[in-house]
């Protein structure tokens, strides 16, 4: 669906829809390759060294997805019957099939995510189990940065520092699901390492705003990454001439991070445009990175109906529930596209229900 009514489709369902850049395709075509399970792919090795350095860690490992990055990290931290603490709105809890429980026998203890993506420190403190044969052993706290379901917010650095200190003082580890850590760093004007340095592990996507076709990186201590590599192998994630995709990742890390500021500016543009649109509820101050959540307040249309109508107009967005839509900015959407989106949303709301709601998927 490249065009609708002679206009290019604007796909804002996610930043995962980004296409590899011309520089990536060229780097992929020319990548030096070897067998990465033997540790012999120079391009994978280069990507892993770059990622470790950027994230302030001793080592990193290339994986096929963010879900795999989180899973192998959690498996490397926790054994069967151990417990992890996670936010109720975190990707690890909501959108990964409960893989840590299903495949690792790890007991998730979900605490209510706060609106800013944090957890209440007192909630964490009281969730950490004492030494008693009735209880699982609490090993790990999982945080998400930026926090997708919490307005794409970067986690406050002072809060993170408190979580690191609390976890470490109790002999526990912290895993950061940093699928969009790059967006957090750009929004806060800090280096990714500043946000991840004290985490025991961090998993970051190359295939979202950084536009790689495939891949994530997990970083941590050399000893941790050795264990994570074992877990990657057992879940079938040992890839051979993986440099062919890692080559795009190298371009992502060298060329695609700073430009995320453009996506954040376009997200603001969209938020301000929607604020001025009848039938939409949004507070632009809540939009800090590239993810825009807004309420559909029109009396005759819900988010699924709006998404169906927009689809007919060549604009793709995800309804999240009965009240809320999500639009994600990325390098394949520019300021002109944002203007078109704002005016089409206004027109769609004015025209009333159109299109096929059954063709729209809800991502709750």
Ligand X SMILES: *Cc1c(COP(=O)(O)O)cnc(C)c1O
* Sites of contact with ligand X (CB under 6 A): 65-67, 70, 91, 144, 148, 177, 179, 205, 207, 216
The residue (of 207 and 305) whose beta carbon lies closer to ligand X is 207
Measured at the alpha carbon of residue 161, what is the angle toward residues 160 and 163, in degrees to the nearest 5?
65
DSSP summary character for residue 65: -
Residue 17: other Cβ atoms inside 10 A? 17
- Show the tokens assigned to 240: 């051979």
The Cα-based distances of 166 to 161, 171, 224, 263 in angstroms read 9, 9, 20, 34
Tell how far CA 29 is from the center of its chain: 27
The residue (of 222 and 234) whose beta carbon lies closer to ligand X is 234
What gap in Å lies between CA 345 and CA 341, rounded to an integer?
Answer: 6
The residue (of 91 and 107) whose beta carbon lies closer to ligand X is 91
Q: 61: helix, coil or strand? A: strand
Are 364 and 321 contacting, i.e. CB atoms less than 8 angstroms apart?
yes
| Distance in Å, CB of 249 to ligand X, minimum | 12
Closest residue (Cβ) to ligand X?
66
- Show the tokens assigned to 231: 């877990």
The residue (of 237 and 314) whose beta carbon lies closer to ligand X is 237
| Distance in Å, CB of 179 to ligand X, minimum | 3
| Distance in Å, CB of 134 to ligand X, minimum | 32
The residue (of 180 and 313) whose beta carbon lies closer to ligand X is 180
| Distance in Å, CB of 70 to ligand X, minimum | 6
| Distance in Å, CB of 96 to ligand X, minimum | 7
């Amino acid at each position: 669906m490249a065009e609708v009514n002679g206009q290019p489709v604007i796909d804002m369902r996610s930043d995962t829809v980004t296409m590899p850049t011309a520089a990536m395709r060229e780097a992929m075509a020319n990548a030096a390759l070897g067998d990465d399970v033997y540790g012999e792919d120079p391009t994978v090795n280069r990507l892993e060294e770059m990622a470790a350095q950027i994230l302030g860690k001793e080592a990193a490992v290339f994986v096929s997805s963010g879900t795999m990055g989180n899973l192998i990290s959690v498996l490397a931290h926790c054994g069967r019957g151990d417990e992890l603490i996670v936010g109720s709105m975190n990707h690890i809890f909501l959108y990964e099939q409960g893989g840590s429980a299903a495949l690792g026998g790890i007991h998730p203890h979900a605490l209510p995510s706060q609106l800013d993506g944090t957890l209440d420190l007192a909630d964490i403190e009281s969730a950490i189990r004492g030494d008693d044969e009735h209880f699982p052993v609490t090993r790990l706290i999982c945080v998400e940065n930026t926090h997708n379901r919490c307005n794409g917010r970067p986690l406050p650095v002072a809060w993170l520092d408190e979580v690191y200190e609390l976890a470490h003082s109790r002999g526990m580890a912290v895993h950061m699901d940093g699928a969009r850590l790059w967006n957090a760093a750009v929004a806060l004007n800090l280096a990714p390492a500043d946000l991840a340095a004290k985490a025991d592990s961090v998993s970051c996507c190359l295939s979202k705003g950084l536009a790689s076709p495939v891949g994530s990186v997990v970083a941590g201590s050399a000893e941790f990454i050795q264990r994570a590599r074992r877990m990657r192998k057992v879940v079938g994630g040992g890839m051979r001439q993986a440099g062919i995709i890692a080559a795009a990742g190298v371009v992502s890390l060298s060329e695609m991070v700073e430009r995320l500021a453009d996506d954040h500016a376009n997200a603001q543009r969209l938020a301000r445009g929607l604020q001025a649109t009848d039938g939409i509820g949004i507070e632009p101050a809540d939009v800090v990175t590239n993810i825009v959540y807004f309420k559909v307040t029109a009396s005759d249309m819900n988010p699924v109906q709006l998404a169906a109508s927009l689809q007919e107009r060549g604009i793709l967005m995800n309804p999240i529930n009965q009240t809320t839509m999500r639009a994600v900015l990325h390098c394949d959407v520019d300021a002109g596209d944002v203007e078109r989106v704002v005016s089409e949303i206004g027109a769609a709301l004015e025209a009333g229900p159109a299109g096929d709601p059954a063709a729209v998927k809800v991502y709750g």
